[in-house]
């Protein structure tokens, strides 16, 4: 990251001794602001031993010693003085490299865009010696996402800053450039500047910042992604060394943010496609209330649910899961769900026939995949359900007098046998009882063995409060949050979760 000429030749023992005296400031570990370095009092030598004298001197220079006699070894004209200067500079460069390595390592461990933006702000604040800042993410291609993240600024503070005309802000000037690159925007004494926008002056005085330093988040490979601004409480600006370090860091950070941006866009597209393949709303059928909940992983998965009105007031309910994840699993899920709907319309009163047809279709069109599925043919007026499952977990009946799993016949998943067929079972729910259909992801996300996961699910269903038993949506939420507490239902996981609740009146 720092350009050190390859022609430098240094005594190894001398370099190690210089490093031992150098150390790495513990304040960097805690993102403490970096203060301005003391002025370097050592004479500025011309290019020595291949070292470019134009490189900004590091802050880790040795304190000047009292003048020595010309004949002493430490005198400026003595033979050892240039070597000491080289060792001092190299020690400073090693310290800077160590600092950048630690900060970029922290950034590389972030896997979510929001976390990465906060990390960029904290690291940049430490490098330039600021306390507050904000980063504006606004990709030049216009595809988003557009967002603003603050460091030491509340949401209301960001709202005040956004009331300043865009062309008067540091980030606005950077983002309005043709390519978003170029020199940083520096305002060393903001409130004393002539021609400062009145609204900008008012907001700066209200929030208590007197100077700012802004850099574009842009590279030739990634293009322009946004701009980062750091705010000082008093008139100040980073010195040349600090600008050099934060410039190196932001170039690396931009490449990392570009990778996260591409990943987030792919995840968003996958989620959108999966949502479009599922029913946008559940049908209204007399005698039954329906509710569904779905949680998907970052890559998108193949779990589905569906509720289909059938002739003569009947209703078809189904949940299922296709193996795999990502776009291919989502596409396979869409094809299977569409096919199942067609089979349900033609022969929905016989769930075994519906799943047998789906098995044949899967073997012919998706030979490398398997799937689990459950289909239930419901007659709400009679409170009668006929269902069959293929490698799927049994439904759960939740009522005032009972909470029990439906005893379904064991069978292999679709695509695992040359011909699938298992007997169906008949169920008659009582008035006010809810039948809960779910996919295996609900059990797998617990991390428990299957017997304990089933026990946890049963306990959660049995503990549904009486006050919400009339609402299938509230029942599904209670079960979901009880089986997967502490945010497990919303955490990134390779396991999708689907719940479909049907309450019979």
3 state SS for 389-439: EECCCCCEEECCCCEEECCCCCCCCECCCCCCCCCCEEECCCCCCEEEEEC
How sure is the predictor about 275, in pLDDT bands with cuts at 50, 70 and 90?
confident
Q: For residues 377 and 318, is the Cβ–Cβ distance under 8 A? A: no
The pLDDT of residue 179 is 55
When pLDDT is averaged across residues 135-143 and rounded to a whole number, the result is 92
Alpha-carbon distance of 386 to 408, in angstroms, equals 11
- What percent of the chain has a predicted confidence (pLDDT) above 90? 55
Alpha-carbon distance of 354 to 345, in angstroms, equals 9
Question: Which residue would you say has higher pLDDT here, 253 or 420?
Answer: 253
* 231, β-bridge pairs: 132, 212
Q: What is the pLDDT of residues 65-101, one digit of tens each?
A: 444 454 444 444 444 567 788 888 888 788 888 999 9
Q: Give how far Cα 275 sits from Cα of 169, 272, 282, 331, Å.
A: 39, 5, 13, 12
- 431 and 315 belong to one structural domain: yes
In a domain, 71, yes or no: no
In a domain, 436, yes or no: yes
Of 191-195, 392-396, 405-409, 500-504, the range with the highest mean pLDDT is 500-504
When pLDDT is averaged across residues 6-11 and rounded to a whole number, the result is 40
Q: What is the pLDDT of residues 453-467, one digit of tens each?
A: 999 999 999 999 999
- 99 and 212 belong to one structural domain: no
How sure is the predictor about 420, in pLDDT bands with cuts at 50, 70 and 90?
low
- 118 and 184 belong to one structural domain: yes
How sure is the predictor about 399, in pLDDT bands with cuts at 50, 70 and 90?
very high
When pLDDT is averaged across residues 260-268 and rounded to a whole number, the result is 87
How sure is the predictor about 47, in pLDDT bands with cuts at 50, 70 and 90?
very low
Alpha-carbon distance of 302 to 277, in angstroms, equals 10
Kindly write down the DSSP assignment for every residue of 12-28, as one continuous string: HHHHHHHHHHH---HHH
The pLDDT of residue 80 is 52
The pLDDT of residue 264 is 87
The pLDDT of residue 418 is 61
Alpha-carbon distance of 362 to 356, in angstroms, equals 10
Residue 116 makes CB contacts below 8 A (sequence gap 6+) with 107, 110, 253, 256, 257, 260
When pLDDT is averaged across residues 413-419 and rounded to a whole number, the result is 76
- 375 and 474 belong to one structural domain: yes
Task: Point out the domain boundary residue: 270, 294, 320.
Answer: 270
In a domain, 3, yes or no: no
The domain total for the chain is 3
Question: Which residue would you say has higher pLDDT here, 333 or 92?
Answer: 333
Q: What is the mean pLDDT of the chain?
A: 82
In a domain, 4, yes or no: no
In a domain, 331, yes or no: yes
Q: What pTM value is reported for the model?
A: 0.64
Domain of residue 89, residue span: 12-64+78-106
Q: Give how far Cα 183 sits from Cα of 177, 215, 261, 263, Å.
A: 11, 7, 24, 29
Decide if pLDDT at 50 tops 50. no
In a domain, 2, yes or no: no
Alpha-carbon distance of 327 to 34, in angstroms, equals 46
36: left (phi over 0), alpha (psi -120 to 50) or beta: beta
| Residue 387: closest CA among 476, 434, 319 | 319
Task: Point out the domain boundary residue: 270, 298, 323.
Answer: 270
- 91 and 156 belong to one structural domain: no
Q: Is 33 exposed, middle or buried (0-12, 13-18, 19+ CB in 10 A)?
A: middle
Residue 212 makes CB contacts below 8 A (sequence gap 6+) with 170, 185, 186, 187, 190, 229, 230, 231, 232
- 308 and 377 belong to one structural domain: yes
In a domain, 73, yes or no: no
- 256 and 386 belong to one structural domain: no
Q: How far apart are the first and last CA of the chain?
A: 69
- Give the Cβ contact number of residue 143 at 10 Å: 9
CATH number of the domain at 242, please: 3.30.450.40
Decide if pLDDT at 22 tops 80. no
Q: Give how far Cα 27 sits from Cα of 1, 129, 451, 476, Å.
A: 22, 11, 50, 48
- 263 and 328 belong to one structural domain: no
Task: Point out the domain boundary residue: 270, 304, 324.
Answer: 270
Residue 438 makes CB contacts below 8 A (sequence gap 6+) with 319, 393, 395, 396, 457, 497, 498, 499, 500
Q: What is the pLDDT of residues 337-360, one digit of tens each?
A: 999 999 999 998 999 999 989 988
In a domain, 456, yes or no: yes
Torsion angle, alpha carbons of 477, 480, 481, 484, to 10: -170
- 336 and 468 belong to one structural domain: yes
CATH number of the domain at 429, please: 3.60.40.10
Decide if pLDDT at 363 tops 70. yes
- 352 and 464 belong to one structural domain: yes
- 83 and 135 belong to one structural domain: no
- 177 and 286 belong to one structural domain: no
The pLDDT of residue 340 is 94
């Amino acid at each position: 990251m720092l350009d050190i000429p390859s022609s430098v030749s240094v005594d190894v023992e001398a370099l190690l001794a210089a490093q031992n005296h150098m150390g790495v400031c513990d304040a960097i570990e805690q993102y403490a602001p970096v203060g301005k370095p003391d002025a370097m009092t050592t004479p500025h030598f011309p290019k020595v031993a291949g070292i470019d004298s134009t490189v900004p001197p590091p802050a880790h220079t040795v304190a000047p010693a009292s003048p020595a006699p010309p004949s002493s070894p430490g005198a400026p004209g003595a033979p050892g003085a240039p070597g000491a200067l080289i060792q001092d500079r190299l020690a400073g460069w090693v310290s800077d490299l160590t600092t950048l390595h630690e900060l970029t390592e922290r950034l590389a461990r972030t896997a979510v865009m929001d976390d990465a933006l906060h990390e960029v702000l904290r690291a940049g604040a430490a490098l330039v010696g600021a306390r507050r800042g904000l980063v504006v993410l606004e990709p030049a291609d216009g595809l988003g996402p557009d967002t603003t993240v603050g460091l030491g600024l509340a949401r209301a503070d960001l709202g005040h800053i956004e009331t300043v005309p865009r062309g008067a802000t540091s980030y606005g000037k950077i983002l309005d450039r043709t390519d978003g690159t170029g020199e940083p925007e520096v305002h060393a004494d903001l409130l004393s500047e002539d021609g400062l926008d009145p609204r900008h002056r008012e907001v700066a005085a209200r929030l208590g910042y007197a100077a700012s330093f802004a850099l574009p988040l842009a590279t030739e490979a990634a293009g322009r992604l946004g701009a980062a601004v750091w705010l000082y409480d008093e008139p100040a600006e980073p010195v040349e060394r600090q600008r050099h370090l934060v410039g190196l860091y932001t170039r690396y950070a931009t490449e990392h943010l570009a990778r996260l941006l591409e990943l987030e866009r792919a995840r968003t597209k996958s989620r959108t496609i999966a949502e479009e393949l599922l029913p946008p709303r559940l049908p209204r059928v007399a005698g039954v209330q329906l509710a569904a909940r779905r949680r998907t992983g970052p890559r998108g998965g193949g779990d589905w649910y569906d509720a289909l009105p059938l002739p003569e007031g009947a209703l078809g309910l189904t949940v299922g899961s296709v193996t795999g994840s990502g776009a291919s699993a989502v596409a396979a899920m869409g094809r299977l769900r569409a096919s199942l709907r067609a089979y349900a319309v033609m022969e929905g009163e016989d769930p075994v026939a519906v799943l047998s047809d789906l098995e044949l279709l899967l073997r012919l069109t998706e030979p490398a995949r398997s799937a689990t599925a459950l289909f239930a043919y419901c007659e709400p007026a009679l409170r009668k359900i006929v269902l069959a499952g293929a490698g799927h977990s049994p439904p759960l009946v939740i009522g005032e007098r009972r909470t029990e799993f439906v005893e379904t016949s064991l069978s292999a998943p679709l695509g695992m046998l040359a011909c699938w067929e298992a007997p169906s079972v008949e169920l008659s729910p009582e008035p006010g009882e809810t039948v809960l259909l779910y996919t295996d992801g609900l059990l797998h996300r617990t991390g428990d063995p299957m017997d304990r996961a089933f026990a946890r699910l049963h306990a959660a269903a049995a503990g549904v409060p009486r006050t919400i038993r009339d609402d299938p949506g509230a029942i599904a939420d209670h079960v979901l949050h009880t089986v997967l507490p502490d945010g497990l239902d919303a955490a990134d996981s390779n396991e999708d979760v689907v719940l479909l609740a049907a309450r019979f009146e």
